[in-house]
A and B are shown apart, each in its own frame.
Chain A
């Protein structure tokens, strides 16, 4: 590539173009002004594709970039200025770190000469984000900028994906140099090859010998995009399949072997199956405490085959009988071939009795709710209606709380990248930003948000962004006038002492929607529910906010209390 003289700010934008970035979500400010000025210039040039989305809060910018990344599988990008702009990004960056979302965050910083002087709007953002990024950089020499951006995108999207941050002082943005984009990346210590060959034969032997196996699928299946491989493998092994909340959609939930989500709010049958299994084959999953329950009592008879791209996840929490480190997309077909060979040589194990037991649990303890006519709308019913009305095909973004778990339980996902949620960090306010990002990434798809009244109020200012972009997202607020999940814990474990959980003075969400220029709708009764959902889902050029008043006391069941074994559930019998 020919060298070209330009500023650091111009170089940054050129790098983003070369990385095929479509959208950047951000808010300008003093220390990133050169970049925004270069953007002004670039967007007036013909053939320039990068679009900037002005969000109203940097946290939303980071979450929207996550929503975009989760819906498309591409890298999400966000901008923030120095100091408060940068620190506002931190929640989104931490969220992306916990959920392995590929994200590149770019921050401006005060000029190099002011760094370390407690200058106006100065924050040590590389120091602050060190624990929540795969890696970060403070660019001190404009000559390093192209290489660093190249490395940033490479790190974000390869291996176990995750967020990175590049902090660029204002004088570096202004400095001019001869731009050249490197073609290759050379990071000596990154992703070293495993020292030992994968123990595929051992894994296949375990699978052949198991009489009560389960397949446990996590977000790593989504990251690696190995849905076809996983489906073929699951059909070969014939075991029941359970997923995490991030595994939703990587395996069709309507498949007869799929038990759906397990864990704290998983179904009884999924939890019983995991707990009683004699072999867990974990693919791209990390044994989070929200799925294992009490670790020392987790699946006591199970051996574990653990396949993950991140060697540090192996035996971090649950000891792997056979660890398999590598990319699922590469390693799973090899395991598949090995298992097939063993099955052909030694016959298939008879899983009949096990599958019969699992089906008996499913019949005896289905997920259920009892909606009575004339009674307040149950949140489960609302999700059920959304599932029916969208024919199970919508991209669903959620906030965090009871509504999220109701959505995970009742919105069955058959497609990967369909359920977009904050799992690891559990970030309230995630729904609206994620829906914005997802809709931009998937303009032809129906994107709905399922949010709670508490969660929605954490980022609602960005309705303005959705209106400005005329995004046809539909946000359904399951409104119980409570911080519902906290209330649930207070009811169950704190003797009904509802300390600071009632949200008595919730705004009128219909008027709020109208104030922002959205269509606002409300369903108070069961009779109103379906017509209102129909009205909301009708094609429209901008966002719709639906206030669904649900039964205030409804709780998410079943529930594994924190610190209890997985099969020690309350409710939902």
Chain B
């Protein structure tokens, strides 16, 4: 594909959207990304302080020039009230991870200690398996996952990134604040 940003470096970008809470809105947004060839790394949706709006956080792997284009394309979708790229230095980001580990009971205390160093907790225990719950940025969760591998990971579920800007800035335009 020929584009102005040819041969630019690709990296992860966090795009935050405030959308009207209408049926099909996720389809519209995900569909726009797929048909324009933008690769979604993660996508989260949830309610906001106002029930008629939802917030989406989309992480995409793109060049920085394409990100501006993505933001403008997304803004065109009618149910999208506001959309902005959140710059890494300005955001607080979190992801939630649940890891099921199949391991004998003998290892459980060791795992508890490991979880503690990552501010993670053990939320389910059975004789030969347990579930670790952790939150943090993707890097921290990757590191924890790496450490847990030694114990036999059976299943992982990660939420994808949610993010808010630091300070007073908000996504909503003034008439919605």
Contact = CB atoms under 8 A, between A and B. Distances in A.
Interface of A: 126-127, 130-131, 134-135, 138, 155, 187-190, 192, 289, 294-296, 310-312, 314-319
Contacts of A312: 69, 72-73, 75-76
B82 interface: yes
Contacts of A130: 24, 27-28, 31
Given A189-B20, A295-B4, A155 B31 contact: no
Contacts of B72: 311-312, 314
Given A289-B2, A295-B4, 16 more contacts: A131-B31, A131-B32, A131-B35, A135-B78, A188-B173, A189-B77, A189-B78, A192-B82, A295-B2, A311-B72, A312-B73, A314-B72, A315-B69, A316-B69, A317-B3, A318-B4
A155 B78 contact: yes
A319 B23 CA distance: 36
A287 B117 CA distance: 55
B4 A317 contact: yes
A317 B36 CA distance: 13
Contact of B20 (A127, A188, A296): A188
B4 A319 contact: yes
B136 interface: no
Interface of B: 2-4, 6, 19-20, 23-24, 27-28, 31-32, 35, 65, 68-69, 72-73, 75-82, 173, 175-176
Contact of B75 (A126, A155, A189): A189
12 contacts: A130-B28, A130-B31, A131-B31, A138-B23, A188-B81, A188-B175, A189-B75, A189-B77, A311-B75, A312-B72, A315-B69, A317-B3
Given A127-B27, A131-B31, A188-B81, A294 B76 contact: no
A126 B25 CA distance: 12
A311 B74 CA distance: 11
Contact of A192 (B23, B32, B69, B75): B75
A289 to B, nearest CB: 8
Closest 7 pairs between A and B when the two form their complex, measured CB to CB: A189-B81, A312-B72, A135-B78, A295-B2, A312-B73, A188-B81, A311-B72
Contacts of B79: 135, 189
Given A130-B27, A311-B72, A312-B69, A189 B4 contact: no
A295 B176 CA distance: 41
Contacts of B75: 189, 192, 311-312
Contacts of B3: 295, 317
B43 to A, nearest CB: 17
Contacts of A135: 77-79
Interface-centre pick from B32, B65, B75 (highest chain A CB count, 10 A): B75
Nearest to A132: B35
Nearest to B176: A188
Contacts of B78: 134-135, 155, 187, 189-190
Contact of A189 (B35, B68, B82): B82
Nearest to A287: B4
Nearest to A134: B78
Nearest to B24: A126
A249 B28 CA distance: 36
Contacts of B31: 130-131
Nearest to A193: B173
Contacts of A315: 4, 65, 68-69
A311 B83 CA distance: 13
Given A126-B24, A188-B81, A296 B76 contact: no
Contacts of A311: 72, 75
A135 B81 CA distance: 14
A134 B2 CA distance: 25
Contacts of B6: 296
Interface-centre pick from A138, A295, A310, A312 (highest chain B CB count, 10 A): A312
A316 B2 CA distance: 11
Given A126-B24, A189-B75, A294 B173 contact: no
Interface-centre pick from A188, A296, A316 (highest chain B CB count, 10 A): A188
A190 B76 CA distance: 7
A64 B161 CA distance: 47
Contacts of A190: 78
B175 to A, nearest CB: 8
A189 B80 contact: yes
A371 to B, nearest CB: 38
Contacts of A289: 2
Contacts of A189: 19-20, 75, 77-82
Contacts of A316: 69
A135 B19 CA distance: 14
B16 to A, nearest CB: 14
B37 to A, nearest CB: 13
A165 to B, nearest CB: 12
